[in-house]
């Protein structure tokens, strides 16, 4: 169970070292805008990955970008 919270409000489960020396952790979600570690991945994000869907846009959750005025990645010429 997570015993920490990331600044985004997501649970943040630290990597634990087991008695046999192996390590156990929870996959972390990186921001789709800046790559920052946002905390533990959600079950929905895992399911989307299994289903082959693109990862959700986390820039608003991260706070690294104003998504209200998105611009196309490639400009028309
Ligand atoms: Zn970000």
CA of 4 to the centre of ligand 1 (A): 20
- Please give the mean pLDDT across all residues of the chain: 87
Q: What is the share, in percent, of the chain residues with pLDDT greater than 90?
A: 73
Structure-block tokens of residue 50: 């299994």
Identify the helix (H) or strand (E) that includes residue 30: strand 28-30
In the chain, domain spans: 1-61
Identify the helix (H) or strand (E) that includes residue 47: helix 43-50
Res. 26 pLDDT band, cuts 50 70 90: very high
The reported pLDDT for the residue numbered 3 is 73
CA of 15 to the centre of ligand 1 (A): 22
CA of 75 to the centre of ligand 1 (A): 22
The reported pLDDT for the residue numbered 69 is 61
CA of 66 to the centre of ligand 1 (A): 10
């Amino acid at each position: 169970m997570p015993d920490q919270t990331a600044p985004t409000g997501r649970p943040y489960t630290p990597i634990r070292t087991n008695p046999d020396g192996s390590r156990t952790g929870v996959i972390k979600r990186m921001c789709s805008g800046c790559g920052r570690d946002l905390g533990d991945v959600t079950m929905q994000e895992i399911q989307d990955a299994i289903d082959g869907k693109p990862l959700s846009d986390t820039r608003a959750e991260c706070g690294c970008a104003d998504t209200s005025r998105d611009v196309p990645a490639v400009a028309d010429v």
